[in-house]
Amino acid sequence: MDKFSVQYWRDRLKKCREALRENAFEAFVAENRKQARDIVLEEIFPMTGAKSASWGDSMTLHATGILDALLTYPDLSIVKTFEGGVPRPEIIERRRQALLVDFFITGTNALTECGKLVNLDMVGNRVAAIAFGPKTVVILAGRNKIVPDVAGAMSRIRDYAAPINAIRHEFKTPCASTSRCADCKSPQRLCNTWTITEQSFPKGRIKVVLINEEMGL
Residue 28 bridge partners (DSSP): 209
Give the right CATH number for 3-143+195-211 from 1.20.1440, 2.60.40, 1.20.120, 3.40.50: 3.40.50
**55-87 pLDDT per residue, tens:** 999 999 999 999 999 999 999 999 999 998 999
Cα–Cα distance measured from residue 198 to residue 182, given in angstroms and rounded to the nearest whole number: 27
Do the Cβ atoms of 109 and 157 come closer than 8 Å? yes
Diameter of the chain measured on Cα atoms? 51
Q: What is the pLDDT along the chain (217 residues), one digit of tens a residue?
A: 678 888 899 999 999 999 999 999 999 999 999 999 999 999 999 999 999 999 999 999 999 999 999 999 999 999 999 998 999 999 999 999 999 999 999 999 999 999 999 999 999 999 999 999 999 999 999 999 999 999 999 999 999 999 999 999 899 999 988 888 888 999 999 899 999 999 999 999 999 999 999 999 8
Instruction: Write the CA distances from 72 to 110, 128, 139, integer angstroms.
Output: 30, 26, 21
With 0-12 CB in 10 A as exposed, 13-18 as middle and 19+ as buried, what is 87?
A: exposed
Burial string for 10-26 (b: 16+ CB within 10 Å, else e) reads eebbeebbebbbebbbb
CA–CA distance, 207 with 187 (Å, rounded to integer): 33
